[in-house]
């Protein structure tokens, strides 16, 4: 892959959740994506990361990690450690780090699901007050908290070592019983999570949020755990890349809002896919990575074999399958 290539990475490009739903399928089966169709007709598949919907790290996260030279062990991509290194925090490149996100869990019939933390609209004052009140509990378990942004903190300590955690893009809207941390001292971390839920239940921050008719913060979610011990310093701080990764499909898919998902795809096709196609036609190096809920497929412009040219011509003549079924590996 050329270092100067324009890289478009699209998370939730397929809607496998919608395929199993008749209600959802009627919205997505007729989506028209002419620019994506044209791109797939001229680009070649150069790499496939075939996984499962049960993996803790989503396909687009694994794709970004590979691009940045980070470890891609499931549930152990060191996103928090990378952020700590970028901030120049002590022991960023040697200690184990994780993200702690403030969240709201919803109790349903026989299940507990996590709402999107981004919808909580936590203020900095609320976040810092909660961090101050939770710090002692974390410290007693060998963990140190650092403020990062209102909805998310950094966490550092040995109890995180070898623990595998599920990313937010995996757990939002899902039954949390299937996505709890595993390995290492995960039992200690689950106990700590329960303690924080009890603290939050009677916390003044939530009293004030209730009075203001805002959703209460009733839990935390640990994710992005790992360390940079085997990663070079140059790679560890490489947060900003040349990848263009729109989030509109992810936002719609996580809400299972399939009309919005279709609209988002059509908008992406008319904008970023159209732009990428123009770059291809101009002879520029490009990379297109399509990520579903299971797998990630990377396409690049290269000279095709005779068989590939014939295959592309058939695609052009007969058209492609609906976007949520093609490529089927997603």
pLDDT of residue 303: 63
pLDDT (tens digit, 9 = 90+) per residue, 104-119? 998 877 788 999 998 9
pLDDT of residue 45: 94
d(CA 115, CA 276): 34
Strands (E), 39-177: 44-49, 96-103, 105-108, 111-114, 144-149, 152-156
State pTM to two decimals.
Answer: 0.86
* SS3 at position 130: helix
In contact, 273 and 35? CB cutoff 8 Å:
yes
Backbone angles phi, psi at 291, to 5 degrees: -120, 130
In contact, 297 and 40? CB cutoff 8 Å:
no
pLDDT of residue 242: 73
- Burial (0-12, 13-18, 19+ Cβ within 10 Å), 94: exposed
How would you label 256-269 residue by residue, b for 16+ Cβ within 10 Å and e otherwise? eebebbbebbbebb
Give the β-pairing of 152-156 and 111-114.
Answer: unpaired
pLDDT of residue 240: 45
pLDDT of residue 236: 46
Q: Which two tokens stand for residue 131?
A: 């961090």
pLDDT (tens digit, 9 = 90+) per residue, 206-260? 999 999 999 999 999 999 999 998 786 555 444 444 799 999 999 999 988 888 9
d(CA 98, CA 301): 37
Report the length, in residues, of the chain.
330
pLDDT of residue 21: 58
Looking at residue 6, the DSSP 8-state letter turns out to be E
pLDDT of residue 312: 46
Q: Which two tokens stand for residue 278?
A: 């123009």
Query: Does 134 have pLDDT greater than 70?
Result: yes
Give the β-pairing of 6-10 and 286-291.
Answer: parallel
Alpha helix (H) residue ranges in 212-286:
233-236, 248-254, 258-268, 274-281
pLDDT of residue 16: 65
For residues 143-162, average pLDDT:
97
pLDDT (tens digit, 9 = 90+) per residue, 278-328? 999 999 999 999 999 999 999 998 765 555 544 544 343 333 344 444 456
d(CA 236, CA 317): 46
pLDDT (tens digit, 9 = 90+) per residue, 33-77? 999 999 999 999 999 999 999 999 999 999 999 998 999 999 999
pLDDT of residue 305: 55
Task: Please state at what angle helix 34-42 crosses helix 306-318, rounded to 10 degrees.
Answer: 160
Report how far apart the first and last C-alpha atoms of the chain are (Å, whole number): 21
d(CA 291, CA 101): 24
């Amino acid at each position: 892959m050329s270092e100067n290539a324009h890289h478009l990475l699209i998370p939730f490009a397929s809607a496998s959740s919608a395929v199993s739903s008749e209600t959802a399928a009627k919205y997505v089966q007729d989506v028209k994506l002419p620019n994506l169709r044209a791109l797939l007709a001229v680009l070649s598949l150069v790499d496939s990361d075939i996984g499962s919907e049960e993996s803790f790290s989503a396909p687009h996260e694994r794709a970004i990690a590979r691009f940045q030279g980070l470890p891609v062990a499931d549930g152990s991509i060191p996103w928090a450690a990378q952020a700590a290194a970028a901030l120049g925090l002590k022991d960023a490149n040697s200690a184990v780090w994780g993200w702690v996100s403030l969240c709201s869990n919803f109790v349903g019939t026989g299940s507990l699901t996590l709402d999107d933390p981004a919808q909580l609209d936590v203020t900095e004052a609320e976040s810092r007050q909660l961090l101050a009140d939770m710090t002692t509990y974390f410290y007693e378990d060998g963990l140190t908290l650092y403020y990062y942004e209102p909805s998310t903190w950094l966490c550092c300590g040995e109890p995180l070592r070898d623990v595998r955690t599920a990313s937010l893009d995996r757990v939002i809207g899902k039954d949390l019983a299937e996505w709890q941390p595993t390995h290492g001292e995960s039992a200690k971390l689950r106990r700590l999570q329960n303690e924080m839920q009890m603290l939050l239940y009677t916390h003044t921050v939530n009293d004030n949020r209730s009075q203001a008719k805002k959703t209460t913060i009733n839990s935390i979610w640990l994710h992005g755990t790992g360390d940079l011990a085997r990663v070079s310093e140059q790679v560890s701080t490489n947060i900003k890349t040349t990848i263009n990764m729109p989030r509109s499909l992810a936002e719609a898919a996580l809400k299972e809002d399939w009309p919005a998902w279709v609209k988002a795809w059509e908008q992406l096709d008319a904008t970023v896919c159209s732009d990428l196609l123009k770059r291809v036609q101009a002879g520029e190096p490009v990379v297109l990575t399509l990520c579903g809920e299971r797998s990630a497929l990377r396409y690049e412009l290269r000279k095709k074999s005779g068989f590939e040219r014939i295959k592309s011509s058939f695609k052009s003549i007969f058209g492609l399958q609906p976007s949520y079924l093609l490529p089927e590996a997603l």
